[in-house]
Chains A and B, each alone.
Chain A
Amino acid sequence: MAQNNDSNQEEGYQSAWSRSITTKEQFKIIKRMMHFAMPFKWLFIVALVFSALLATVNILLPRLLQYFMDHYLNKGNTAFKIILGFAALYFMGTILKAIMQFFSNFLYSMGSEKSLEDVRRALFRKLHTLGMRYFDLTPAGSIVSRVTNDTMSLMDFLQVFASLITGLFAVVTAFIAMYSTNAVSAWIVLAFLPILVVSIWYYSHYSSKVYRHMREKLSELNVKLNESIEGISIIQEFRQEHRIGREFEQTNQDYLDARKAMIRTNSLLLSTLIDLLYAVAIVVVLTHFGLLAQHQFVEAGVIYAFTTYVSNFFNPMDDMMDSLSALQDGVVAGSRILRILDDQTTAPAQNEGAHGEITTGKIEFRHVSFSYDGKDKVLDDISFVANPGETIGIVGHTGSGKSSIINVMMRFYEFYEGKILIDDRDIKDYPMAEIRRRIGLVLQDSFMFYGDISSNIRLFNDKITDQQVEDAAKFVQADHFIEKLPGKYHARVIEGGAKFSSGERQLISFARTVVTNPKILVLDEATANIDTETETLIQEGLQRIRRGRTTIAIAHRLSTIRDAEQIIVLDAGKIVEHGTHDELLAQKGHYYQLYELQRGKNVDPA
């Protein structure tokens, strides 16, 4: 399953890849993403100081050897004590180097890690401020991928800077060291820099194309693999093994070709090319020194030190080349992260200074109109009053606007016309926490969280005692099946409650609502097939929860709301009929038709 997710994320990845981002935008994204690193700037600064020191030690060590060679070894008969002293000095230098290496690496990584986790926190917090519309429109998989995978790319992104800056340190210090040894040779080596920059740029530009193609093929391969395993019984039953095998083989071969192209590109351009340039630089430098030696003395130590500096100069280039492709990844990921952080689909806000408590639970809709896209009205001039303790049943075809009533009532979506009053006061004048506490929504699809039965009933509310949890479960008669579970209230719940039937999940969802003891109940009835035994429990459960509470019930089975004080029939967002069950039947209108239609149907499950 995880693989499947991966491959889907991969798909999303490709689509973002195909859009080109202008340089200006790229800088803007980089700048904004760097913001997340700011709180940890000291980690980065200290790490970079260590890295600068490291670069210095890296040129001082050859210099030490050079001095040793030219001043002692060259002179002959040096006391062994001095030799020993140099060896000890050199070894201490390496210990120093090791310490600096460790801290610069470790601190930088920790800085990146903390920045990355900060982005995750920010994203997660932002997600909780977004309105339901955002979640209705965005597939869960892609949101998850933003929070987990894209933030990872940020890490690589910071790594690019690390390798660029350490590379810069190495180049600068190596240049200074070379310059102080022999200025002309130093300029000769520096002349290689433009060539290096161009080849690095060319490589990252060219390889990213090849790389993208390879990743695309890999994701295709994994999607096929996953799908074939999941659909294996269909493939076998319909005798399609050969065709599917052939198709898979094709993709497999495509991936191999793409990979070989990537290998060729890397072999041609990556470290091999840098190594070649390095060797050419050595050749040029040695030629220069050799010609110099024709008319002046060149000490052996100078040759040693200088060639070592040249290698220091070229060494970081491989790293830089590698990391540049990560820069691209990082920018793409960053743009997607920022899109969430900038999203304006925020959850509806309450009026300022909202306070007060919901006491009786009277609900009034006064000329409420609502639309998801600002054009098509999904609710059109809805008005009704539910007195404390009354049940209002809402029926209508799919798409008639039933669910939208819940969406505005629960403040999942903002409505712009009309008013919703609770206890004769504007719903926007109550704090959101009060609304959440007093209005209980029983959802159609009862999502269950990883944990146990008890944690699924109390959710995160620690104030609810075990006794209250059990009482709630008993109240909705969920205790029958819970008692039979191994571990009872502590029975594990995994992966969205997969082990439980939809009926059982529904009962847990009832208990969840009962335990918070809301004044007002909003009921979105399940359409799922539920076995008859549980169905009876659910119907009884519903009756019980409704007792003493004002209830708005979206009903799919008319039997649920037969005894409601009022029934509203919605059609295309308008109230077309309004009355009791008997009144509406007598009218022989929409309700009567719905009723007849359902009676005519033969029905579910065993």
Chain B
Amino acid sequence: MGIFKKLGWFFKQQKKRYIAGILFLLLVDLAGVVPPRVIGILADLMNERRLTTRLLFMWVGLLLIAAIFQYLSRYGWRNMIWGGAATLERELRTNLFSHFLKMDETFFQRHRTGDLMAHATNDLNAIQNVAGSGILTFADSILTGGTTIIAMIVFVDWRLTLVALIPMPLLAISARILGSRLHQAYGESQAAFSRLNDKTQESISGIKVIKTFGQAKEDIDDFEGIVDRTIDINRKVYRIDSLFGPVTSMIIGLTYAVTIMYGGWLVTTHMITLGQLISFVSYIGTLVWPMFAIGRLFNVIERGNASYDRVYQLLDEKSLIKERSHATEHLVAGDISYHVAAFTYPDDEEVSLQNIDFDLPAGGTLGIVGRVGAGKTTIIKLLLRQFDNYEGEIKIGGKNIKDYTLEGLLSSIGYVPQDNFLFSTSIRNNIRFAAMDKTQDEVESAARQSAIHDDILNFSRQYDTLVGEKGVSLSGGQKQRLAISRALITLPEILILDDALSAVDAKTEAAILTSLKEDRSRKTTIISSHRLSGVMNADQILVVDDGRVVERGTHDELLALNGWYAEMWRRQQLAAQLGVGGAEDGAK
């Protein structure tokens, strides 16, 4: 029941809706008491040959009024209570989503997309169930149960009522037991379904390999094995699921049997009339649902409670990135002074960066090179304030970056990440992602700077072409170039290319770098790359290995140093001589 308290804020906020809903429920139940009694009375009247037309129309008139009343009240509570549940789900989803938008890298490293999605879908569903069927069951089992039992006592006989109620708790208990068993079996069934799904996914993705090695038959056998196991697992689900109806029937049957015995005796001894017994039997029918629902209520509450805790655990997580109270909005110049003594990723033990120091005047270009995993991207992440927990100080324009607001800092930086994520909207809106008010001319000029304009014109709907599943599938190189346009369109003071040209061929790379040099002459640029040609013209190059700077200088200085950089340069040159060239990945 704790979950009702936890959701108290919502019920308070929706007080009117829930009070109205519960009043409607009460009306339904009060009206519901009428028909069994009227049927019993009419049966008695006919049985005793005392029914006049006036009496008849009076009673059936009452019945009709009760029916219409019930219809309207049912319409009322359904809209109120189910609507409330839907509203709660919307509310929680909004909270969760705006929370996600505020969270830092650490959060997203700790929780994978799939898990976050599961919280935002399955967990919210379980919680809204509490506000919907949970509240309904809770209120209605009390109301229906209460009104019916009172009607039984008032209209029929209190002793009979007491006796007939004895088997009823069994309903609640069995619903509870079967419910949790079913839930468990259903979990296994879901897992079996996932296996089947994964298997199919894999076979389709690897169809060429399977065909190549002539293994279709073996693959089919494997699939059928999984299918057979799935059937076995589902058999269990159906077995439990098919038990609900029979168990209910048996317990109700027991109640009827008890009623027949005791009620029959009461009728024969004239303690009650036959009509009263008929009413009583009808009332028993009304009690089935609330009793059964109470059993299920426990499952709803349990699941809702667990889900609520999971969701609030997420909502309670705080971003480690905090804005300082006196932080300024404005960013003037792009000179960077970067001095980080040590940085360790949260949840990690190994030190990721050590003694990274460089000063980059506004308008300068810094190159960062090194093998995969050397720490190139980490250096950039600190600059973007994705992590704040480092020893040292990073200054831009002479001021600690933590003294800027995130808005001020980040809107002055154009960032092109490694994984060039694009949104499933038009190419135009992808380019002007950061500034939706940019005109077509501005969009095109950014596209030209990153050498993607001509490609876009070749698409059937040009700048209106949709990106992603429903639209055009872009090559890796095209995605990278679009990501560059996206960063360029805001004319950022500082541009960061994080290995953002790896899928672009050397010629295009050179063209882009030249155009950047011309258009951004007074602005700062940081390029990380493992292709040395991308950084050779930088004013300063850092060679990073294992989180430290191992070499630094200009291209010529580094060649003269004859270390890792020079060795790498020779190897890459040699490869070029041999004719090894990475083509742009546009094969398909």
Contacts and interface: CB of A to CB of B under 8 A. Distances in A.
Interface string A78-121: 10100110111011011101110110011001100110010011
A144 interface: yes
Interface stretch (A199-207, A245-253, A354-362, A363-371): A245-253
A102 B47 contact: no
B46 A460 contact: no
Interface stretch (B135-143, B176-184, B407-415): B407-415
Contact of A109 (B242, B246, B384): B242
Interface in B539-557: none
B64 interface: yes
B525 interface: no
A72 B263 CA distance: 13
A68 B256 CA distance: 13
Nearest to B282: A307
B571 interface: yes
B247 interface: yes
Interface residues of A, number: 154
Given A90-B256, A226-B113, A603-B581, A276 B246 contact: no
B313 interface: no
A144 B201 contact: yes
Given A78-B264, A436-B213, A531-B371, A101 B46 contact: no
Contacts of A77: 268
B2 interface: no
Interface in A188-232: 221-223, 225-232
Q: Which of A234, A266, A403 has the most CB of B within 10 A?
A: A234
B121 A101 contact: no
A93 B253 contact: yes
Interface in A402-437: 403, 410, 412, 432-433, 435-437
B459 interface: no
B441 interface: no
B87 interface: yes
Contact of A1 (B75, B114, B212, B576): B114
B502 to A, nearest CB: 6
B242 A105 contact: yes
Interface in B327-356: none
Nearest to A15: B470
B222 A460 contact: yes
Contacts of B502: 529, 604-605
B483 to A, nearest CB: 8
Contact of A239 (B220, B247, B410, B503): B410
A586 interface: no
Contact of B60 (A109, A283, A307): A283
B571 A276 contact: no
Interface string B403-427: 0001100110101010001011000
Given A291-B53, A602-B533, A109 B68 contact: no
Given A90-B253, A227-B424, A601-B505, A245 B97 contact: yes
Interface in B58-72: 59-60, 63-64, 66-68, 70-71
Contacts of A98: 245-247, 249-250, 253
B577 A599 contact: yes
Contacts, number: 451
B90 A252 contact: yes
A88 B211 contact: no
B580 A527 contact: no
Contact of A73 (B97, B268, B369): B268
A265 B343 CA distance: 58
Nearest to B434: A238
A233 B418 CA distance: 12
Contacts of A461: 213, 215, 218
A128 B60 contact: no
Given A232-B101, A238-B434, A275-B74, A3 B582 contact: no
Contacts of A140: 201, 204-205
A140 B215 CA distance: 19
Interface string B512-532: 000000000000000000111
B67 A276 contact: yes
Contacts of B218: 459-461
B120 interface: yes
B469 A602 contact: no
A551 to B, nearest CB: 15
Contacts of A556: 581, 583
B378 interface: no
Interface string B494-520: 000000001101110110000000000
B113 A230 contact: yes
Q: Which of B203, B213, B218, B410 has the most CB of A within 10 A?
A: B213
B256 A245 contact: no
A256 B88 CA distance: 10
B422 to A, nearest CB: 8
Contact of A68 (B42, B194, B227, B260): B260
Q: Which of B68, B242, B372 has the most CB of A within 10 A?
A: B242
A34 interface: no
Interface in B103-123: 103, 105, 108, 113-114, 116-118, 120-121
Contacts of A239: 406-407, 410-411, 434
Nearest to B261: A87
A447 B86 contact: no
Given A94-B253, A231-B421, A604-B582, A102 B70 contact: no
B363 interface: no
A602 B258 contact: no
Interface string A156-182: 000000000000000000000000000
Interface string A266-289: 111000110110011011001101
Given A69-B277, A245-B98, A276 B68 contact: yes
Contacts of A132: 207-208, 211
A252 B93 contact: yes
A287 B222 contact: no
Nearest to A267: B78
A351 interface: no
Q: Which of B49, B113, B243, B406 has the most CB of A within 10 A?
A: B113
Given A73-B274, A83-B265, A223 B424 contact: yes
Interface in B121-135: 121
A253 B75 contact: no
B583 A398 contact: yes
B193 A300 contact: no
Contacts of A102: 242-243, 245-246
Interface in B173-226: 193-194, 196-198, 200-216, 218-224
Contact of A248 (B97, B105, B573): B97
B197 A106 contact: no
B531 A604 contact: yes
A237 B414 CA distance: 8
B482 to A, nearest CB: 12
A358 to B, nearest CB: 13
A234 B433 contact: yes
Interface stretch (B6-14, B144-152, B232-240, B391-399): B232-240
A262 B246 CA distance: 32
A67 to B, nearest CB: 12
B275 interface: yes
Contacts of A90: 253, 256-257, 260
B205 A447 contact: yes
Given A114-B231, A410-B211, 14 more contacts: A91-B256, A98-B247, A121-B227, A222-B121, A227-B423, A245-B101, A267-B82, A272-B78, A279-B67, A443-B212, A449-B206, A459-B213, A557-B581, A601-B505
Which 6 interchain pairs have the tightest Cβ spacing?
Answer: A94-B253, A436-B214, A279-B67, A460-B218, A98-B246, A290-B56
21 contacts: A1-B113, A11-B470, A68-B264, A110-B238, A121-B223, A128-B210, A132-B207, A227-B424, A234-B417, A240-B433, A252-B90, A286-B63, A293-B46, A294-B53, A300-B46, A307-B39, A398-B583, A447-B205, A449-B202, A459-B209, A532-B575
